[in-house]
Amino acid sequence: MKRIELDIVALSHSVTQSHNYAVVLGERRGQRRLPIVIGSFEAQAIAVAMERMVPNRPLTHDLFKNTLDTFGVQLREVVINNLLDGIFYARLVCVKNGETFEIDSRTSDAIAMAVRFDCPIYTYDFILEAAGVVLEEQDDDEATRSGGITQSQAPLVESDAIETFTVDQLQRKLQEVLEQEDYEMAARIRDELKRRDA
């Protein structure tokens, strides 16, 4: 079976299930997108790693990565290898001392690990055929305006009027939310600070 490499193209609120999020994977050489509904904790774990944020204490996925690193196990790739009854299945392909072995994983956890190890994510054509959507370039802009799943800049938390804060207030608020381990809000504040610097 032909494997297809995927990139994370969006992380936003799910348009089909309230209180959940969607991570959207896009094929590297094509227009198909694979939306996967995930929970808020998994969305936070992915967002923290994508934003290169360093929590005060290790999150669960950071702990697992540290454990693998300690024992000399390298995560080589993640493969989303099946879709049964609307549930995606994934495997972590690991290497230790030249020996390759696979670990069963929830897809959301596998993606969170892939971001931390900076390793590729693959799937198979039959999964993209069954669950993928094809988006043209002009449709991406339209979906973004309408709040669709391609809304790559969608905030993971509701607005907290951070646009009205001064830079000093934002920096203090950033320290507060990091101490509270609210990494979603921290990412929003960091983006607002970057926007003002630009």
Q: Which residues pair with 12 in a beta bridge?
A: 22
Tokens of 131: 């669950």
Are residues 166 and 127 both part of a single domain? no
**Residues 121, 33: one domain?**
yes
CATH number at residue 111: 3.10.690.10
| Residue 149 · residue 143 · CB < 8 Å | yes
Q: Tens of pLDDT along 68-99?
A: 999 999 999 999 999 998 899 999 999 999 99
Q: What stretches in the chain show pLDDT beneath 70?
A: 14-18, 135-161, 179-184
82 and 180 housed in the same domain? no
DSSP-assigned letter for residue 64: H
Q: State which amino acid sits at residue 128.
A: L
Answer yes or no: do 29 and 127 share one domain. Answer: yes
Q: What is the pLDDT of residue 100?
A: 97
Work out the number of other CB atoms within 10 angstroms of the CB of residue 147. Answer: 12
117 and 58 in a common domain: yes
Tell me how many domains the chain contains: 2
Q: Whole-model pTM above 0.85?
A: no
Residue at 87: amino acid letter: I
How confident is the model at residue 68, as a pLDDT?
A: 96
Residues 89 and 145 in one domain: yes
Query: Are 59 and 15 in a shared domain?
Result: yes
DSSP code of residue 164: G
Alpha helices in 30-121 (DSSP H): 40-50, 60-70, 107-117
Domain that holds residue 189: 157-198
